[in-house]
Amino acid sequence: MKPHGWIILDKPLELGSTQAVGAVKRNLREAGLLGKGKSKTKVGHGGTLDPLATGVLPIAIGEATKLCGRMLDATKKYEFTIKFGSETDTLDVEGKVTENSDHRPTLTEVEGVLPQFTGEIEQIPPKYSALKIDGKRAYDLARAGEDVEMKVRGVTVLALSACSLKRNSGEEKLEEIALRAEVSKGTYIRSLARDVACALGTVGHVTMLRRTKAGPFALKHAISLDKLNEIGKGADIKDYLLPLEAGLDDIPAFDLTPDQARMLRQGQVLDAQDLPKEMVRNPAINGTFLATEDDSPVALAELVDGTVKVVRGFNL
């Protein structure tokens, strides 16, 4: 039977997101679960994580790949460290130093500027990023020595705070600071670190970046690369695979009758007279919801004014 669901990888340092997907495919192949041709199991990731970052990388398998777009839009949580005194062209430890400063802030000063970066803010993405400019990746243009002009974009920082530090005084000069952030899609932590340092009258770059949560998935759900490799050696994938619906725990679910489920599978629209009254009258279910049959996912559906339409159907 084909696997459908999520493997949450605790991505190690220096492994790219595409390489992580490749590692899952390799293990599925070795376990005889990947298939061939038109029956080949699809695998995709729910949000790029830089090679120099570690942490939560949701990898979708089978029908769960239809939810990768939703995962890309989900909020993310990070822990990261800013090293003060030098800025690099990549805004992390991989790049070349482009600017230096002798000024070092205090913890009190850091905590004083963080509110400026909470809420809806504007930031300029790093020129070494996967964003496309005239159809080409920004990092490819930057590596080729071209002058890359990144446009300002609006993002949302839901929370930003300093991690606990062992210190004698909040006035002690800091060489680096560890922060926690919860951010919207499209937020670049490297840009956030650069801007925080600038607000403190100095420069800085990211030396450590770890994603602790992506959408509903946290580190407690994640497995190591070694654990992932056990699948290829014969371990039961069910021990590591989260169900497809685990990626939809932020929306309500509603169980349909066999006839209603059949209609949705056929792409038909359900109107109010086809729906149970308790569903139509439920104020929590007015928008996107998970339609199930006997608790098995049927479709990601949308209920608007008593009419249900399929957003994405699942072939389970």
Burial 25-58 (b: 16+ CB within 10 A, else e): bebbeebebbeeeeeebbbbbbbebbbbbbbbbb
Per the listing, tokens 């497995």 go with 223
Burial of residue 253 (number of CB atoms within 10 Å: 0-12, 13-18, 19+): middle
- How many other CB atoms are there within 10 angstroms of residue 214's CB atom? 26
**What distance in Å separates the CA atoms of residue 307 and residue 54, rounded to the nearest whole number?**
43
Q: What is this structure's pTM?
A: 0.90
Residues of the chain with pLDDT under 70: 164-170, 272-286
pLDDT given at position 252: 83
CA distance readout (Å), 64 to 8, 57, 242, 246, 316: 12, 14, 10, 10, 10
What radius of gyration do the chain's Cα atoms show?
Answer: 23
**How far is 53 from 20, CA to CA, in rounded Å?**
13
> Among 216, 301, 214, which residue's Cα sits nearest to residue 250?
216
For position 284, what pLDDT does the model report?
Answer: 54
What is residue 168's predicted lDDT score, i.e. its pLDDT?
45
- Residue 301's DSSP bridge partners are 289, 310
Residue 143 confidence (pLDDT): 80
- Smallest CA-to-CA distance from 160 within 221, 216, 112 is with 112
SS3 call for 11:
strand
Res 193: pLDDT: 97
Cβ(150)–Cβ(127) below 8 Å: yes
Q: How large is the greatest C-alpha to C-alpha distance in the chain, in angstroms?
A: 71
pLDDT at residue number 169? 56
CB 117 within 8 A of CB 196: yes
Contacts of 13 (CB under 8 A, 6+ apart): 51, 52, 54
Q: How many CB atoms are located within 10 Å of the residue 81 CB? A: 17
H or E segment and range at residue 310? strand 307-313
Number of Cβ within a 10 Å radius of residue 153: 15
Q: Which helix (H) or strand (E) holds 206?
A: strand 204-214
Q: Which helix (H) or strand (E) covers residue 129, if one does?
A: none
Residues serving a catalytic function are 50
